[in-house]
Amino acid sequence: MSSLPKPYRIGRPPVTAIVRRQIATVRGGEQNVRRCHLRGLSGKNGEEIAPRVRYGRRVASRIPDIDAGARQRLAARFGSDVERWFAELPGVLTAVAERWGFALGAAIPRGSVSAVFRARLADGRRAVLKVSPDRARLAFEATALGAWPTPHTPDVVALDEQLGALLIEAIEPGTPLDVSGAYPTEESVATLLSALHGSGVPNPSYPTLGQRVAYLFDSSAKLYDRSPNLTTLIPRTLYEQGRRLATRLASDAGPVVLLHGDLTPPNLLDGGAARGLVAIDPAPCLGDAAFDLVDLILWQVDDLDAIHERTRRIAAAAGLDAERLLGWCIAFASMIAMELASQGDAHNRRLQALLHLASQAYTA
């Protein structure tokens, strides 16, 4: 459930003021969170595109080239209208670099909802700038990151909700798991989970896990429209059985924690020996802790026995019910199989293992 739209717009995102307060208290006031108030920019037909930038003194840093990949990734996500947003991007980058006093570095060639850049703050610290046409999503992300008083998420440096710009601490070395290909130890996963679930405040303004489940199954089902042949490999009945099981698990009574909501390998960075795993890019929601482990358990695994063994070991390390964790994996196996298949992933054994696991939804 990695590359698909996420329910950042479910419910009303908590306001930026909360972000500022939380960051100030949580980070002991160390962070300098500032917010710009800029006027809205009108498009050709008078519609709002992005806030207008008032150009002031130019920053020393050059605006980096926007890579073609970013245009493609964001167009796939937001449609061809995103070109108008790209046309405004140099002005937005100039404005936030000047106001927040950082030098822009190279673009990071990743990210499907935002353009991501390296940055260097005035005091020498490294940071990462995310700019996105989905401004509500960035504000929501900043709120969640600010609510986690743990080194296992990056600090928020500044947010401009109107410009759709979020400046966060750069994680070092910051290699995402999908790039290193290194499977984390169960101890490091348990430490991360305990930090996220144990310290996050389950503010009722976040969406519920039931809403997240509905959103994920609805959005992934669109892959059937794009690639009708998928039904041969992953019958819709199997997919819907997974949805039923996930819906049931989400509605079970039990402890509710603040979930990361999108704990996929690309969103897990290597924070170095002392810091361990660091989770970025949350889609926070409230529900059962086991949900956050599904993508990690079903990553890089080619047979059912290995899935069972991994589930047992990680559940034991994280203090979770292995049966329930396996239930979540069964529920999402067809969706993850569909993502693999639609990306042309040729790991046939992995697909077969996922489909076999998914079929257990009929009896779970």
Ligand X SMILES: Nc1ncnc2c1ncn2[C@@H]1O[C@H](COP(=O)(O)OP(=O)(O)OP(=O)(O)O)[C@@H](O)[C@H]1O
Would you say the C-alpha torsion 158, 160, 161, 163 has a positive or negative sign?
A: negative
Site string for ligand X, 112-141 (x = CB under 6 A): xxx-x-----------x-x-----------
b/e sequence 191-217, b meaning 16+ C-beta within 10 Å:
bbbbbbbebbebeeebbbbbbbbbbbb
Q: Which does 154 bind (CB under 5 to 8 A by kind): ligand X, Mg ion, none?
A: ligand X
Distance CA 146, CA 140 (A): 10
User: Is 23 one of the binding residues for ligand X (CB under 6 A)?
Assistant: no
Using CB under 6 A, which of the segments 23-31, 157-165, 216-224, 262-270 binds ligand X?
Answer: 262-270
User: Is 108 one of the binding residues for ligand X (CB under 6 A)?
Assistant: yes
Longest dimension (CA), the chain: 65
User: Is 171 one of the binding residues for ligand X (CB under 6 A)?
Assistant: yes
User: Is 143 one of the binding residues for ligand X (CB under 6 A)?
Assistant: no
Residue nearer to ligand X on the CB measure, 169 or 288:
169
Using CB under 6 A, which of the segments 54-62, 111-119, 331-339, 354-362 binds ligand X?
Answer: 111-119
Residue nearer to ligand X on the CB measure, 176 or 235:
176
Total residues contacting Mg ion by CB under 5 A comes to 2
Six-digit token pair at 132?
A: 């996105």
b/e sequence 10-33, b meaning 16+ C-beta within 10 Å:
beebbebebbbebbeebeeeebeb
Q: Which residues contact 185 (CB under 8 A, 6 or more apart)?
A: none
Q: Which residue in the set 155, 281, 288, 292 belongs to the binding site for Mg ion (CB under 5 A)?
A: 281
Residue nearer to ligand X on the CB measure, 40 or 69:
69
Type and span of the H or E element at 98: helix 82-100
348: left (phi over 0), alpha (psi -120 to 50) or beta: alpha
| Lookup result for tokens 């140099």 | 90
The answer to whether the CB of 163 falls within 8 A of the CB of 95 is: yes
Q: Which residue in the set 101, 149, 151, 176 belongs to the binding site for ligand X (CB under 6 A)?
A: 176
Q: Which residue number is nearest to ligand X in terms of Cβ?
A: 111
Q: Which residue in the set 241, 267, 311, 334 belongs to the binding site for Mg ion (CB under 5 A)?
A: 267
Q: What are phi and psi of 150, to 5 degrees?
A: -145, 150
Using CB under 6 A, which of the segments 25-33, 167-175, 291-299, 330-338 binds ligand X?
Answer: 167-175
Six-digit token pair at 118?
A: 């390296």
Site string for Mg ion, 215-254 (x = CB under 5 A): ----------------------------------------
Report in angstroms how near the CB of residue 266 gets to Mg ion at its nearest: 5
- Contact residues for ligand X (CB under 6 A)? 108, 110-114, 116, 128, 130, 154, 168-171, 174, 176, 266-267, 269, 280-281
